Amino acid sequence: MAILVTGGAGYIGSHTTIELLNAGYDVVMADNFYNSSPEVLNRLKIITGREIPFVKCDVCDEQQVENLFASHPEIDAVIHFAAYKAVGESVEKPLDYYQNNIGGALCVLQAMKRHGVKNFVFSSSATVYGEPERIPSDESCAANGATNPYGWTKVMQEQILTDLCKSDPEMNVAILRYFNPIGAHPSGLIGEDPNGVPNNLLPYVAQAAIGKHPSVRVYGTDYPTPDGTGVRDYIHVVDLARGHVAAVKKLAEKCGLVVYNLGTGVGYSVFQVIEAFEKACGKKLERNILPRRAGDIAENYANPTKAREELGWVAQYTIEDMCAHAWNWQSKNPNGYKE
Ligand code: UFG
């Protein structure tokens, strides 16, 4: 019995692979390296001391996905990470996002159906709450409020999975709504390696700290929040990875369709994150105050009660840990996985 991790070389997929192995699961990784590097496989081997089965595969290619399942009959659950994830790019290229994210998921689900695989964990996002009905957001908040095509691909895939579970009572699906994953494996061997100039706060701050940017962009100081900057629920990527292990255990209980927020339940502002990072790297970072970024909301953080009660999962790492581990990764790998 093994778990297929699509997008296994990516930021969250690579950390989840380690936690699955730590928990005693066998893993088959699949990735096409569209937004990741083959170097991740070497790093995972150093961290885990194991050669992890890997298949180079584009999840949108029906034949490749069929071959993957045919050559690994031991797969009995899938954690589906492989997807595009840049909000701004999704606004410019909506068709690419719908095709890749929804097409890829459908291709994997069709192959699972052909091969009788009934367990699926889906990478969703707090972005499905849009401008949240309540803060902290819980799983019963309206989850159809995306504000960009990337977010809509998550809303639509949640709907597809809901319909699939209705049609097939043997399916077990865990939809995991991530808040803002940051940080890196404590070893500093794997971490987030964005292409080009990062869109997200943490990788930008980390790059500013090693001197790639003269200052940190602060998008808006006039939000109705305590210090005027946006507030988010940052979660250590290793905690997030462990949430997937907890979800896989839940599937084994034949749970049908379940939905969980994965967040800490605590919100930090942009200024608070920058301050925590300054402590971690021991440097003062210049702030460049800019207008609000289009599409951003003032605040969102999770109500993580359901995951605690039903999965026995609680995030452990603090914002200081997240920044210290992100800095450890960034300072040891100033150019990410590139030479
Ligand atoms: N921000 C800055 N400067 C930057 C980047 C971001 O001030 O350089 C601010 C944003 O305005 C926001 C906060 O930092 O207030 C966090 O922004 P991110 O871009 O890091 O994250 P978002 O909350 O916008 O989005 C992230 C993921 C999405 C996901 C969403 C879920 O990028 O994929 O969380 O809530 F859908």
Give pLDDT tens digits for 129-138.
999 999 999 9
Q: Give residue 137's pLDDT.
A: 98
In this predicted model, what pLDDT tens digit does every residue of 20-52 receive, in sequence order?
999 999 999 999 999 999 999 999 999 999 999
Q: Give residue 236's pLDDT.
A: 98
Q: Is the CB of 242 under 6 A from ligand 1?
A: no
User: How many CB atoms within 10 Å of residue 114?
Assistant: 12
Nearest-angstrom CA–CA distance, 95 and 35: 18
Whether the per-residue pLDDT at 285 is higher than 90: the answer is yes
Cα-to-centroid distance, 200 and ligand 1 (Å): 5
Whether the per-residue pLDDT at 78 is higher than 90: the answer is yes
Q: Is the CB of 230 under 6 A from ligand 1?
A: yes
Q: How distant, in Å, are the alpha carbons of 17, 28, 33, 44, 323 from that of 190?
A: 12, 18, 15, 8, 14
Nearest-angstrom CA–CA distance, 289 and 220: 7
Helices 201-209, 270-281: crossing angle, 10 deg rounding? 30
Nearest-angstrom CA–CA distance, 301 and 262: 10
Which residue has its alpha carbon closest to ligand 1 atom 27?
A: 180
Token readout for 95 is 């068709």
Q: Give residue 337's pLDDT.
A: 98
Amino acid at the residue 77:
A
Label residue 269 left, alpha or beta by phi (over 0 means left) and psi (-120 to 50 means alpha). beta
Nearest-angstrom CA–CA distance, 159 and 132: 18
Q: Give residue 98's pLDDT.
A: 98
User: In terms of Cα–Cα distance, which of 165, 163, 201, 207 is closest to 180?
Assistant: 201
Q: Give residue 339's pLDDT.
A: 75
Q: Is the CB of 203 under 6 A from ligand 1?
A: no
Whether the per-residue pLDDT at 196 is higher than 80: the answer is yes
Whether the per-residue pLDDT at 256 is higher than 80: the answer is yes
Q: Which residues participate in catalysis according to the annotation?
A: 150
Coil, strand, or helix at residue 317? Answer: coil
In this predicted model, what pLDDT tens digit does every residue of 258-281 receive, in sequence order?
999 999 999 999 999 999 999 999
Token readout for 118 is 């009934």
Cα-to-centroid distance, 231 and ligand 1 (Å): 9
In this predicted model, what pLDDT tens digit does every residue of 220-252 receive, in sequence order?
999 999 999 999 999 999 999 999 999 999 999
Q: Is the CB of 262 under 6 A from ligand 1?
A: no
Degrees to nearest 5, angle at CA 107 with 124 and 177: 5
In this predicted model, what pLDDT tens digit does every residue of 143-179 receive, in sequence order?
998 999 999 999 999 999 999 999 999 999 999 999 9
**H helical segments located in the chain:** 11-22, 39-48, 62-71, 87-92, 94-97, 103-114, 149-167, 201-209, 237-251, 270-281, 305-306, 319-332
Average pLDDT over residues 288-299: 95
Give the nearest ligand 1 atom to 218 CA. 7
In the predicted model, what is the mean pLDDT of the chain? 97
* CA torsion, ordered 26, 253, 303, 90, to nearest 10 deg: 50
